[in-house]
Chains A and B, each alone.
Chain A
Amino acid sequence: MIRVTLRGLRARGWRALLTGLTAAVGVAIVVGTLMVGDTADRSGGSEGVDLVRTIMLLAGGVAVLVGGFIVNLTMSVTVAQRTRELGLLRCIGADRRQVRRSVLLEALAVGVLAAAAGLAAGHGVAVVLRAAVDAGPFQGDLPAGGSVLSGRTVVAAFAVGCLPMLLSALAPARRAGRVAPVAALREVAPSAGRMRPRRIGAGALALAVGLAALPLAVATRQGLLLLPGAASTLLAVRLLGPLFAGRLADVLGAPLRGVVGGLGRRNAARSPDRTAATATALMIGLALLTLVSIVFSSIEKAVLNDVHRDHVDFQVWAGGPDPTVRRAAPMDPEAVRRLRALPELSAVVTVDCVATGGATFCAADPAQLARVVDLEFSAGSLAAVTSGGVAVSDRDGRAPGATLRVGDADLTVTAVYRATDNFNAALIPSAELARIGGAPYPMTALTRVAPGVDRGAARSAVARATAGFPGLDVHDRAAFHAHDLAQFRNAGRVYRALTALAAVLGLFGVATTLALSIVERRREFGLLRAVGMGRRQLRAMVRVEGVLIALVGAALGLTVGVLFGWAAAAVLAHSSQPTRFTLPVGALAAIVVLVTAAGLLAAAVPARLAARVDVLRAVAAE
């Protein structure tokens, strides 16, 4: 049997190659992420290094998932295509166990080869990942020097290469064992196959569970609930996909005119199960990419919004930039007087505070404060806060009418404003400060440069005015924002690059499946060529099919990604991380355009394979 298997493997070399190639790419990504993770291990644990390790593990895990999906898909297609041959084996006396073993042995052989190849290619991935990490916000966090290959990585490579391969081969192998000997004698069209009710039931359940996680996570503010929710939704799409993938491909292809487009569209819709499986593999990466894009753009939107509401040019603190020190140290009133005297500044607003009972209350002139920060009151206004009232930021969480206990007095919330990253104090009228205890002191001065004055000149003027006062720290808000945003955007880039890896792996799946089904349809292509389809038309037809399958994946991925991205942003909005849900329309449109282009690319090789089909070979009866 082993001889038969090996000979069969040689005969189906290209098929094994395709399956192996996909597995190898998956292994390479896992190996690359593990190698970078191990490098992080070596350097001991700073916070940045821990984060790198976690991100790498997650990316590797996703690669395993997507790779497993694709290997599963290619295995089942390959075995389906071999039905006839296996039937012949049965005819000449092979028993079920032998057929089953032959399929499994083949899977194992391909898996081992793929793991070895992936292990080698993984070094390249590690180099690329390392470059991405070093260019990003974790610059300098990882120790210099090449990445290390640990025993753990080697074990993981072979596990990732072989296990999904064997597991994926199990079901087809069982099916192959059941192939009736007569299958060899019949022309077996790969049947669309009715979906079993059990599968539909399980899919519906998974979908319900997955979608229920969305409102639940938002309501309970438990972001972690989104993880099993997303997994369950993915499972649901895989299970239920065949129900709609074909139709979806058909709808997406509706704008295509002409016979070539029409044929491509039908080909994409012809085996819904295969289209669904391929699209799902691509969907995982795209959903992640969408989710990450949404979360990052939602955070960025909030940060930018803060920046826009913040008109402070220079902020003067007592006690340096450390917030714990800030609160303790009052500013010298003389410094404030000097700042006020500067002609370069158009506004100098002091915020006076008292610390009492563990909380800090502040006061500032409402009209003046409005010149340096837009507080965006959602209820009441600062000017309307009277004795016994308090304005709180939305991060405080208290609604209008709620009370705050200070010592033995109660303050009632009469106004709520939106916090910025720099301003979220509880505000009361100036006159009240002394009443609730302690001596009010100016905690900070918010200044704004007068129109027409050079920033640099204003900066030196402020520096001169505060020079004589030890402990005073001048803070350039604009520079701070710019640095902050740059850091943040870099981090976004790293995350997006990592999730894009999963999408690239998914595209590999599209190419593989397409190539496999093209070989399966060789006769059909020969026929089309015989009745007058030009090579270019044939290639176009295959490309249409590839793009449509990729777009089905994109549609599913964007839908799932937007749903979970929205939920993640909603959960984050209640955390310390300012977040405002935004649909990054530009980025999502870019994903669709890129996926279309990548679908074309993925279809390029299969299209050339198809166009090279020898008319005669295809037409001559076998």
Chain B
Amino acid sequence: MSEPVAAVRAVGVSKRYPTVTALDDVSVEIDTGRMTAVLGPSGSGKSTLLHCLAGLDTVDSGAVYIGDVNLCGLDERRLTRLRRDRIGFVFQSFNLVPTLTAAENVVLPLRLAGRSPERAWVARVIDAVGLADRLGHRPAELSGGQQQRVAVARALVARPAVVFADEPTGNLDSLAGAGVLALLRRCVDEFGQTVVMVTHDPIAAGHADRALFLRDGRVVDDLPSPGVEQVLERLRAPRAAA
């Protein structure tokens, strides 16, 4: 097969809150070994989609598959295990457990699973995020950019099927943000990691292999190899039309 198998699949996913429909019959396939950016105006359902794809939230209708596992059929314990073993997360902020050092935060998912970390792989991941000299530090002693890089290392360490990142650069200045984006890009290129990233930033989206545009809980556009210009244009277009 030359066409990559979908790492994550959403089939007709809807998510309704009492007053809004956050996701409205969304069907997407996330390509394995690629970086997918999710864009859209505030309140369009980006975070909700990410949470549903990652098994952090339940869907009201439709189905979500990680590989060939249907998340809807899983009970709480299996879902937790799946998150631990197959999914990595990078959040916008507060990614790290404050009482643990950077190194301990990185291997936390493995330790929770009762697995002993593979030395060589951990070393490689830590080397990739460039934090070899900060391993003994607590999160409070790290800059925001460093904290996000530790979070990326943690997301990678269990060799998950997919890494989800919700505005991972949202709290960072542009330089630190660029560092984190380059790092995520390297994960895709070097480790063949599948990455899904929510972002507001057209430049961030420019690092991606594909851009999904959401509006009012629907996927309204799907750009392969988006350039910054294109993204800007798409983001602006509907507003111009309105």
Contact = CB atoms under 8 A, between A and B. Distances in A.
Nearest to A620: B47
B94 A523 contact: yes
Interface in B181-205: none
Nearest to B47: A620
Contacts of A270: 98-99
A531 B89 contact: yes
Contacts of A616: 51, 56-57
Given A189-B140, A616-B57, A619-B56, A532 B98 contact: no
Contacts of B93: 621
Contact of A263 (B85, B97, B114): B97
Interface string A533-550: 111010000000000000
B77 A534 contact: yes
Contacts of B84: 531-533
A532 B97 contact: no
B95 interface: yes
B52 to A, nearest CB: 10
A163 interface: no
B111 A259 contact: yes
Contacts of B97: 263, 524, 527-528
Contacts of A529: 80
Contact of A530 (B56, B81, B85): B56
A266 B111 CA distance: 16
B92 A531 contact: no
Interface of A is mostly: helix
A267 interface: yes
Interface string B14-47: 0000000000000000000000000000000001
A534 B99 contact: no
B111 A535 contact: no
A552 B80 CA distance: 33
B98 A534 contact: no
Interface string B84-111: 1100010111111111100000001101
Nearest to A621: B92
A531 B100 contact: no
Given A529-B80, A531-B83, A615-B56, A259 B108 contact: yes
Interface in A493-544: 523-524, 527-535, 537
Contacts of B113: 532
Interface in B66-81: 76-77, 80-81
A534 B100 contact: no
A535 B76 contact: yes
B154 interface: yes
B80 A532 contact: yes
Contacts of A619: 56, 91
B56 A263 contact: no
Contacts of B57: 616
Chain B contact-residue range equals 20 to 34
Contacts of B83: 530-532
B220 interface: no
B112 interface: yes
Contacts of B99: 263, 266-267, 270
Contacts of A267: 99
Contacts of A189: 98, 140
A20 B35 CA distance: 52
A527 B100 contact: no
Contact of B100 (A266, A530, A621): A266
Contacts of B92: 621
A421 B113 CA distance: 65
Given A263-B100, A524-B98, A616-B56, A531 B111 contact: no
A263 B101 CA distance: 11
A523 B95 CA distance: 9
Contacts of A524: 94, 97-98
Contacts of B95: 527
Contacts of B111: 258-259
Contacts of B100: 263, 266
B81 A532 contact: yes
Interface in B105-149: 108-109, 111-114, 140
Contacts of A533: 80, 84, 112
Contacts of A260: 112
Nearest to A536: B77
Contacts of B108: 259, 528, 531
A532 B114 CA distance: 11
A525 to B, nearest CB: 10
A615 B140 CA distance: 22
A100 to B, nearest CB: 30
B80 A259 contact: no
A531 B112 contact: yes
Given A524-B97, A524-B98, A616-B57, A531 B81 contact: no
Nearest to A270: B99
Contacts of B56: 530, 615-616, 619
B35 to A, nearest CB: 21
B43 to A, nearest CB: 13
B180 to A, nearest CB: 16
Nearest to A530: B89
A534 B94 contact: no
Contacts of A535: 76-77, 80
A23 to B, nearest CB: 30
B53 to A, nearest CB: 13
A578 to B, nearest CB: 53
Interface of A: 189, 258-260, 263, 266-267, 270, 523-524, 527-535, 537, 615-616, 619-621
Given A189-B140, A528-B112, 16 more contacts: A258-B114, A259-B108, A260-B112, A267-B99, A270-B98, A523-B94, A528-B97, A529-B80, A530-B83, A533-B80, A533-B112, A534-B112, A535-B77, A616-B56, A621-B91, A621-B93
25 contacts: A259-B108, A263-B97, A263-B99, A263-B100, A527-B95, A528-B108, A529-B80, A530-B83, A530-B91, A531-B83, A531-B109, A532-B85, A532-B112, A532-B113, A533-B84, A533-B112, A534-B80, A534-B81, A535-B77, A615-B56, A616-B56, A616-B57, A619-B91, A620-B47, A621-B92
